[in-house]
Structure 1
Amino acid sequence: MREWLVTTVASACLMPGIALAQAAPGEAIIRDPASAEESANNGAGLEEIIVTAQRRVESSQRAAVAINVVDGAALLKAGVTQADRLNEQVPALSIQPTSTGNLIFIRGVGNFTLTQNSDPATAFNYDGVYVGRPTGTVGVFYDLERVEVLKGPQGTLYGRNATGGAINVIPTQPKPGEFSGHGSLSYGNYDSLIAEAAVNIPMGDDGALRISGMRSKRDGYNRDGTSDEDIAALRVQLKARLAPNLTVRLAADHANLGGVGTSVGYDGSYAYNPPSGKYVFRPASVPASDGVLTPLAQAYRITNSAGPAGRKLDPLAITPYQNNHFYGANGLIEWTTPIGTLSVIPAWRYSKLDYLATSGAFGALQHETDEQYSLEARFSGNRVGRIDYTIGALYYHEEILADIALSTSASAVFSNARYVTASIAPFGRLTLHLDDRVRLVGGIRYTEDRKRFAGTTISGAIVCQLRVGGVPTCPNAPLFPVAESPAQLPFPFPAAGSPPAPLRVGGVPTGALLIRADRNDNQRLTNRRATYRGAIEFDLATQSMLYASVETGYRSGGFSAATGFETYDPEFITAYTVGSKNRFFDNRVQLNIEGFWWEYKDQQVSSVRPDLSGRITNITQNIGQSRIRGIEVEARVLATPTTLISGDVQYLDSRNKSFTYVNQNNGVPPLTGCVSKLDTAANRYDVDCAGKPGFNSPKWTFNIAAQQTVHIGDFDLVASADTQYRGSRYLGFLYLPEQRAPGVWRSNAQVSFGPADGKWSMAAFVRNIENNRTPVYSATQPIANILVSTRAAPRTYGARAAFKF
């Protein structure tokens, strides 16, 4: 590793550059007043991006961290209404949309679960508030100042669970003393309608009220109507300068996510071949873009086995829906003193989830409430002697109540659970200015997480006892429909503690048994960890900086309602980074480079598989260690005053150093693309995926964009185009060959026209010109061994009109 870092440092010195901040392709970005004045003196130049990633206001070119930034205007013009569209803007980011939320990976660090017992690896922060549940990341992408994506562990300044990085969604704040606003309306194919508006109302010279809202609705991308969008959101903010040194901002927001929801389509199924000892993949006879509810998809479904039930599957007899509500209230109190600024952020967020999903080609019914409240306080001072400092603390409390009913046809699960988390974390960071060009940075955070889990789980399984030619055969056995409780099943369900009961239809035995298993959990655990950051920053020239850092991250342990896997430990990551960033040629060229080496230990990975009692359940376990390294280079060139060209290249080498887990022996080897060996003494299989690349880790990612402005009198015609190549990568836990998405290009284009002052504009756009609908999420239905996937959005096109005042 040392030789690799030395090579990267040498490269950074030869190619001075970056914290890897970039705007969306071809878009204007927030202007730093100092740089604006400099650009005016030197003629046209690249605008500066202002960020608060290090809890202070600064140019991204002066922030010695790995960061990508997309400004709000770019998100609006790109029609970004949900987090997964950020994939197009940030090469290091991979967000997999599912029926219940977003799975977020940064350079392969993430997790394949949205269950209540697992925390995300990337911290999602909305308006400075950590959002604990991935389901709560919807309904916030409107009227934004910018989105910051920090890559790598954020172990000191940020809240919980940021081993992979952090995503900061920052709304546009009220502007005191100003009456202004904006609005936009776009319409496109799939009957897509996106409306956004905001108004800023002055309340004297020292206050303002800002009201903003968004409505997004379109038909489903799949032929069965799934993977649609139906979002309505509203945000209200009030900001006032109560005294020369005291400013208070209050905010409240609500979003409703309706419609059918994201769903999957069939890719094929696996059948075990005893003579060869291998699984054979049979591609589906229906396009994945059908979804799972079209007549053609249902006809394919009933050709597949229902596993131990000894018969074929029934059609999927459900009507999926979602009616999820998200509420939030938060404040920001800033008090400026002669020695620094005190910032206090109280916050409350509440989610009420009600949905029926076809997430894995089976029914999942869920009623859940998530409530969190937090209080963060920071005190920051600049240049006390030679030292800048930030000290503070975060208190976070979360309670989840969930009632879940799942049916995989041959099995069913009915569970209710309560999860409570209380976390406290004091932190501090110091920057020592050795002189005007060299700075040393040190930071530390101590986190204590206390968790409680209590719940009951009732499981049912249908197992055929009849054999024909050695094959379980019970064609008349019933299967589990989706029901909220065992009492709603169309056949008698055994009482707790009862032995397996013969299944009958109309009083006639079917040859199958109905087996009930009950589980009660009541557990507590406490995890504690200190994380740190150390860095050195060196100004090579006025607009050139070189930096190197080491930072650690920690993600708390937790629970699994699974026999043999009841708890799991924290995971840890250490990240080494060297980088350079600068501007050349009168601020017209930006060249940035970052080299990174991450060591990931006790990696938490979630999967749906049998526990040691043989019950299919979601298991989170510490099963891996990995090494992640690479280089990212970003460049922006203002070739002429009206021509902007930009590009970003990431090379990523992610590899499992160890990756082992056990699978209960159910009579056949486990379905996996890794090596598995039978442990006869323990009656289980040991699975080893060492040497495999990390999940969602394409080796190469390219972003290329260009924008040309043509002045026509007092009007501007702006043509822009961008394309992204994302290399092949594994999308699912099992490392099956069919779960490896191919490398693909996706391109977008737009033409807009309006006055040079930007008071209004009209635009036409097309996205995913190639119409590549490659998979973005892949999983297996664990009973029938059916492979399903969520597909990328197809080609979309439309027009947009916008105004501002």
Structure 2
Amino acid sequence: MKARNQILLSGAATIAMLASAAPAMAQDASETTDTNEIIVTAQKREQNIQDVPISMEVVSGQRLDDFNASDIKSVMNYTPNVFVQSTAGNDVIYIRGFGSPPANFAFDQSVSLYVDGVYAGRSRQAQAPFFDLARVEVLRGPQGALFGKNTAAGAVSVVSAGPTKDFEGRLTGNYNFDFKGVDFSGYLAGPITDTLGARFAMKVVNQDGYIRNLATDHDDPETKQQLLRLTLKWEPSSNFDYTTKIEYANRDIIGGITVSSPLTSSQDPQRTRYLEKSALGDEGTKTKSWMISGTGNLSIGDYTLTSVTGYSWFNANIVNGFDQTIPNGTGAVTNNSVYNSFPERFEQYSQEFRILSPTGRTFEFIAGAYYDHGKYRLDQFQGFNILNLAGSPYFGRIDSRFNQTSESWSVFGQGTLNLADTFRIIGSLRYSHTSKDADFASRLVYGPFAIRPISSAVGSLSEGNVDPSATLQYDIAPHIMVYATYGRGSKSGGFVSNTLGTTNATFAFKPERSTNYEAGIKSTLLDGKLVANVSIYDTQFKNLQVSVYQPATSSYLTGNAASATSKGIEGSLALYLSQNFDIQASGAYQDVKYDDYPGAACLASQPTTCLPATNNLAGYRVAYSSKYTGNVSAHGRFDFGDDLKLDITGVAAGRSKYFNSDNQSPIFGVQKGYVKLDLRVQLADQDDKWFVAFVGKNLTNELTTGSAFNLPAPITAAPRAILYLEPPRNLSIEAGFKF
């Protein structure tokens, strides 16, 4: 309570300080002509981000393109209090310390991803969207009212680029010297007829990895990827338009990102591994996916009726192996084999209708309804072929299958009461209903398989959630706005999909709920040259869904933690010193702890007498959360006559230390704090018809890990830590032209 009060008081003091300075700045601010405004659709309308009472960050498509962004993890560098956990299974987004762990594949995510308005709750749905983007909007805190679908911790909205009024195109080629491969991307856009516009974009990647596999003489993980998107926008009149987007992705990752490390020393990951082909085939991930969306807008008088239709499908297979090198410094290896595979198949249909009232009236509103239907199948193949510490053979294989059919619908509305030109009250409400039917069954392929019991389970659920929010918004001076928000979010319950030994008694888990209290200030000053925002928050979760690895049984404990709280402060600053030079920075502090967590798996720091049945993690920090995160970027442009220009962009992004193992080992499970530096130096003509650029990522070669766990006996003859290594320094040359 003391820490919470200190944070809230410090944030309140910051807001009060800025508010007290507002009158002095008002004279300049009232004349502001903001040429640097950022337009977002976080509230289902086009708005200046400075008018939106939400703690959020926006990363432009150009910035992501400049640094060869390929997935959601690329966004993490620019958004404090956001973390993306890297594993061989699912990459998971955490906002303000909360997310849905990757171990249970069937988890709905606490941070939901939306692609052009379509819900994409599974990471393999969103491979194609991460190229040729307009922007990525990251909304922190529950967004239950307008986004609704499983946004208990926040939402990420990806908006792809659309057709242009004039014909144009671009082609870019990149060669990465460290990954020894190429990355080609490009687009063609423009009008086909007076009423129909189109955009075709593509991206092709063929690159080696950054970890040398001594068993195969191969650099893992090799990436082969083909991404395509076709966008058509039909606008037959000023009252109607319809946009269709069809995206296809084919992605092959050959090899893994795990390396072995001792259990007795801190993380010092190496860039070599020893892993032979397993009985399930080559390690890696293969994914094919389709995403189709259709968005129509019809003007009915002063009102706008919008329809968003979505279809998503993917077929994927993950084959995991674990580095067989014994971490004893001798370089010796064993013929032990530990492997698993997770074939997945997913299909989803969705439909949303909403109506928007005109703006500029005393009362404005948004109202709508949403429906989706999904089918998901997950197979699991898991096997061992090892000699244990006593030299006895230990082998076996067990398979399982999980099927789930889900259906959800909701109705929602948000109203804004403009009591004065400077004061607004915003209220919203969403009711969501979710039903799921699922079954699980495992079978012994060969054995013995002593630590993996054969089991089955069947379950169904039907539940409703109500998510309200209320916001007070006040303009204390022109271009200076303060707000205070109360909001709730929820995520549906579900089922355990891939924990062997699951029975009816352990199959289901409850929905989780969040409550958020937030206050902030957004200011645009000095004729738009200075943009400064600060927010403070207190987010509380009930029945937080967790899936924690237990080395003692080499299994996952999946269920609900009783409660947890995250509280902190977030801020951003942008300084546009001139048309050719700007500096932007953002940072955050968060304190995330369990309030009550009975029946929790024991942590490495707890006594050896600890038993999950009597354990409670109240007061312990939540894993995968840094106290401090932040970034600074600077861009400068230098003109050489009327023909050439040089653009230099540097980004420094970092975070303080955090536990990245489920058991929060203070030895092998801590990722120390780091700062990573990226740099882009580009020479181009003044009309941007061509360019040549140098791109350096992670210039100081910080070797960091996205996750860690203890691979125990008897699964392995030499118990060790398995680390998921993130990319080291990589340098590339890029060239392109535009027409």
CA contact (8 A) 2:694 2:734 kept: yes
Which one of the candidate residues 158, 170, 174 is aligned to 1:186?
A: 174
Say which of 558, 570, 595 aligns to 1:620. 558
Contact 1:103 1:114 in 2 (8 A): no
Match of 1:727 in 2: 656
How do residues 86-485 of structure 1 correspond to structure 2 at under 5 angstroms? 86-113=75-102, 115-175=104-164, 177-189=165-177, 190-224=179-213, 225-269=219-263, 281=264, 287-293=269-275, 319-358=282-321, 362-383=338-359, 385-409=361-385, 410=394, 412-458=397-443
Is the contact made by 2:417 and 2:426 (CA closer than 8 Å) also made in structure 1? yes
SS of structure 2 residue aligned to 1:691: coil
2: CA distance, partners of 1:567 / 1:802: 52
Q: How many residues align?
A: 689
C-alpha displacement of 1:346? 1.1
Higher Cα radius of gyration: 1
- The CA distance in 2 between the partners of 1:332 and 1:641, in whole Å, is 36
Name the amino acid aligned to 2:646: L
Flag the 1:262–1:66 CA change in 2: closer, same or farther, 3 A.
farther
- Alpha-carbon deviation of 1:47? 1.1
Opposite residue 228 of structure 1, the aligned amino acid is E
Q: What is the match of residue 792 of structure 1?
A: 726
Residue 759 of structure 1 aligns with an amino acid whose one-letter code is K
The correspondence for 1:11, drawn from 14, 29, 33, is: 14
Aligned counterpart, 2:619: 691
Aligned equivalents of 2:274 and 2:370: distance in 1?
44
Aligned residue in 2 for 1:741 = 671
Aligned twin of 2:391:
none
1:318 Cα deviation after fit: 5.2
Q: Distance in 1 between matches of 2:550 and 2:438?
A: 21
Of 573-582 and 378-387, deviating more is 378-387
Return the alpha-carbon distance in structure 1 between the equivalents of residues 525 and 360 of structure 2.
32
TM-score, normalised relative to structure 1: 0.81
Alpha-carbon shift at residue 521 of structure 1 (Å): 1.6
Structure 1 residue 659 corresponds to structure 2 residue 597: yes
Counterparts in 2 of 1:46 and 1:15: CA distance versus 1, 3 Å? farther
The whole-number CA distance in structure 2 between the counterparts of 1:138 and 1:264 is: 22
Shift of 1:196: 1.0
Cα separation, 2, equivalents of 1:371 and 1:316? 29
Checking the alignment, whether the CA contact within 8 Å between 2:222 and 2:253 is kept in structure 1 is yes
Distance (Å, rounded) in 1 between the aligned partners of 2:471 and 2:576: 31
Deviation at 1:64, TM superposition (A): 1.0
CA distance in 2 between counterparts of 1:724 and 1:536 reads 33
Percent identity between matched residues is: 24
Deviations 1:171-216, CA, capped at 9 Å, x for gaps: 11123x4211222111122113111111114122221121111112
**Matched residue, 1:772:** 702
Q: CA deviation at 1:615?
A: 6.9
Evaluate the alpha carbon distance shift between residue 675 and residue 85 of structure 1 in structure 2; reply closer, same or farther with a 3 A threshold. farther
Distance between the aligned counterparts of 2:524 and 2:269, measured in 1? 49
- For the Cα contact (< 8 Å) 2:708–2:721, is it kept in 1? yes
For the 8 Å contact 2:412–2:428, the answer to whether it is kept is yes
**Could you report, residue by residue, the CA deviation over 1:331-381 in whole angstroms, capped at 9, with x for unpaired residues?**
011111124111111111000113322269731223221001111111111
State the Cα distance separating 1:120 from its structure 2 match: 1.1
Question: Cα distance, 1:146 vs. partner?
Answer: 0.5
Cα contact 2:600–2:617 (8 A) shared by 1: no
After TM superposition, give the deviation of residue 578 of structure 1 in Å.
Answer: 0.7
Alignment partners' CA distance in 2, 1:430 and 1:251: 30
Corresponding residue for residue 306 of structure 1:
none
Q: Distance in 1 between matches of 2:450 and 2:142?
A: 48
| Structure 1 residues 52 and 385: alpha-carbon distance in aligned structure 2, compared to 1, 3 A threshold | closer
Choose the corresponding residue for 1:673, options 605, 608, 614.
605
1:678-717: CA deviation from partner (whole Å, max 9, x where unpaired):
56xxxx6533333222222211122112222111112211
Residue 686 of structure 2: which of 738, 748, 756 is its match? Answer: 756
Partner of 2:388: none
CA distance in 2, matches of 1:743, 1:710: 34
* TM-score, normalised relative to structure 2: 0.88
Q: Which letter maps to 2:261?
A: D
Say which SS state the counterpart of residue 262 (structure 2) adopts: strand
Q: Is the 8 A contact 2:90 2:105 kept in 1?
A: no
Q: Which runs of 5+ in 1 are unaligned?
A: 18-37, 270-280, 299-314, 460-485, 494-502, 504-512, 664-669
For the 8 Å contact 1:676–1:686, the answer to whether it is kept is no
- The residue that corresponds to 1:604 in the other structure is 545
Whole-angstrom CA distance in 1 between matches of 2:646 and 2:535: 35
Give the counterpart letter for 2:363 in structure 1: I
Q: Is the 8 A contact 1:130 1:159 kept in 2?
A: no
The Cα of 1:217 is off from its aligned counterpart by 2.2
Distance in 2 separating the partners of 1:84 and 1:359 = 23
Change (3 A) 1:414 1:360: farther
| Worse-superposed segment, 574-583 or 670-679 | 670-679
Letter in 2 for 1:588: K
Query: Bigger CA drift: 119-128 or 188-197?
Result: 188-197
Deviation of the 1:536 alpha carbon: 0.7
